[in-house]
Amino acid sequence: MLVSKYFKLGRNQATLDFLDVHIDKDIAVFVDPGAVRALKTEWGHHCVSLLQSYFDTVLEAIRNGQHVRAKELLASLSERNEFHLGFSKGKSQGHALGPVSAEKIWTSLIKSKAATTGLLQDLEDTILFVDGLGPDMLSDAVCNIIRGPLIEYTQQACNYYGIPLTKGVNSGPIWNPRDEKWENGLIELPMTRHGPVILIPKIIARVKQTYGADEYYRHFLMPVLQQHHKDINSSLVHVLKGKKNKGVKKVYKTSLYNLYGVDKLASARLTSDHPGALTNYRETKKATPSYPLDHIALAKLENVAPPDFSGLLDNVMQIKVGRDGAAAYENAIEKLLSALLYPSLAFPVKQDKIHDGRKRIDITYVNDAKVGFFNWVSMHYPASHIFVECKNYGKEVGNPEVDQLAGRFSPSRGQVGILVVRSIQNKELLLKRCKDTTNDRRGYILVLEDSDLQELIGQRGAVNQGDGENILYKQFKALIS
């Protein structure tokens, strides 16, 4: 049973910000440290800081010969099942580092000298050089290290979606970067009949890790070694004799595998001698980040239907115009936009308070777009957040509504917003008012009425994957022209 069903949320994965996991078994996805590093949010930066703090502490203990401390630090990544991610068959088991696994990982770190030579810089490097550490174990390790921020995210998500929290739940080990130690406490978490659940933002879930040991060894390290053997004209060099390639030097990878081996210890040893391969690998991965799982992939993993955009739009259309339907309209718009604009926009907050609570924003999204319209906007204009105001009016929208949204903007929060309305009698006049706001340097306001939402559904791919001619881009272009 999925979390959404167990707590009767009336939502599915498409309209939820968190990964809708099973309460009693694992779902075959992982938290990728590369995906965490790619987040453009304060929450993401906090997570990265914790990952780096913990990993640096472990490496420092090993370098200083404090091996008991290093093992204790590793062992505290204890196997727990609150995350429900990985390959466990049947009931969730967890794959993080218990005492036995910690001993093996420590032994591998020492044997490969990866921890003492400066080869390892980030936690994800370990999957390249440390025997016994696979994608599921790395994912669970990441989840445990950022357990504190994930608990905070879970509590916020529960308050947002109406999931009850149970008091007095053991937190599990939480990394304290200031004192460089693990701590425990009693906290609030959602509780099922199978135990507590810690929720994961779906934008950091992947079906595989960014770093792969085999990929690195075969496609980045081996070419460097092939060139090295050519340069020194070793006995592994074959000179081709055919007419077409006569005189061309060739070093076969199979010869290198036979000479050096193909395990992670060999990879660590060879990388120490040829560090440029690892530098190239890191730069390549940084330049080609992985992307969040799309709706179809998530639906297949969870064995549920893909998002029904028409149904979400019908829910909007069925709400009667007027003040009495304002709350229902806001909720329906949030569901539609959260599904429609994923993965560009994430971490929705309704009735977000600013200016010490004196002002509220109907819906605030974090702009975490890596491609598409919202990425383009963030590269050229202040757009770390996208603000949405919902007006379930049966009257013309005028200057007060435009000024209200503009009043929520700031250079630090962002200066791009969407005004969602039922219908517009004079759309040309309203768009001119929005352009006046832009000309006065007070921000950029896009307008969507009921009839525009259907068009936006049809252009979802263009909005999230490319910056071509879509309704949002056309309106924005008109504002700045």
Write out pLDDT tens, residues 273-297. 999 999 999 999 988 888 999 999 9
pLDDT exceeds 90 at position 328: yes
pLDDT exceeds 70 at position 357: no
Cα–Cα distance, 406 to 434 (Å, whole number): 9
pLDDT exceeds 90 at position 133: no
Cα–Cα distance, 413 to 428 (Å, whole number): 28
**What's the topology of domain 308-480?**
Restriction Endonuclease (3.40.91)
Question: Strand 195-196 to strand 191-192: parallel, antiparallel, or no bridges (unpaired)?
Answer: antiparallel
Predicted pLDDT of residue 399: 77
| Residue 420 burial (10 A CB sphere; 0-12, 13-18, 19+) | buried
Q: Quickly state the pLDDT bin for 87 (edges 50, 70, 90).
A: low
Predicted pLDDT of residue 40: 85
Tell me the mean pLDDT in the region 252-266. Answer: 93
Q: How many residues does the chain have?
A: 481
Average pLDDT in the chain: 89
Query: Torsions phi, psi of 346, nearest 5?
Result: -145, 180
- Choose between 217 and 93: higher pLDDT: 217
pLDDT exceeds 70 at position 323: yes
Cα–Cα distance, 387 to 361 (Å, whole number): 7
Q: Quickly state the pLDDT bin for 366 (edges 50, 70, 90).
A: very high
**Please, are residues 40 and 384 in contact by the beta-carbon 8 Å criterion?**
yes
Rounded-to-10 torsion of CA 350, 364, 210, 276: -150
Predicted pLDDT of residue 241: 83
Cα–Cα distance, 349 to 341 (Å, whole number): 15
DSSP, collapsed to helix, strand or coil, labels residue 365 as: strand
Distance of CA 464 to the CA centre of its chain: 15
User: Between the CA of residue 220 and those of 117, 227, 279, 292, 326, what are the distances in Å?
Assistant: 20, 11, 10, 25, 56
Cα–Cα distance, 244 to 273 (Å, whole number): 34
Which amino acid type is present at position 163?
Answer: I
Question: Strand 181-183 to strand 191-192: parallel, antiparallel, or no bridges (unpaired)?
Answer: unpaired
pLDDT exceeds 80 at position 84: yes
Alpha-carbon Rg for the chain in angstroms: 26
> Does pTM top 0.85 for this prediction?
yes
pLDDT exceeds 90 at position 130: no
Cα–Cα distance, 292 to 207 (Å, whole number): 9
Tell me the mean pLDDT in the region 470-481. Answer: 93
DSSP, collapsed to helix, strand or coil, labels residue 175 as: strand
Q: Quickly state the pLDDT bin for 207 (edges 50, 70, 90).
A: very high
Cα–Cα distance, 146 to 175 (Å, whole number): 7
Cα–Cα distance, 101 to 132 (Å, whole number): 8
Long-range Cβ contact pairs of 311-315 (< 8 A, separation 24 or more): 312/15, 312/336, 312/339, 312/340, 313/453, 313/454, 313/457
Q: Where exactly does CATH 3.40.91 map onto the chain?
A: 308-480
Question: Strand 444-448 to strand 416-421: parallel, antiparallel, or no bridges (unpaired)?
Answer: parallel
Tell me the mean pLDDT in the region 196-212. Answer: 94
Predicted pLDDT of residue 237: 93
**Please, are residues 370 and 288 in contact by the beta-carbon 8 Å criterion?**
no
Six token digits for residue 467: 């910056």
Alpha helices in 321-426 (DSSP H): 326-340, 372-380, 399-406
Tell me the mean pLDDT in the region 36-45. Answer: 91
pLDDT exceeds 80 at position 481: yes
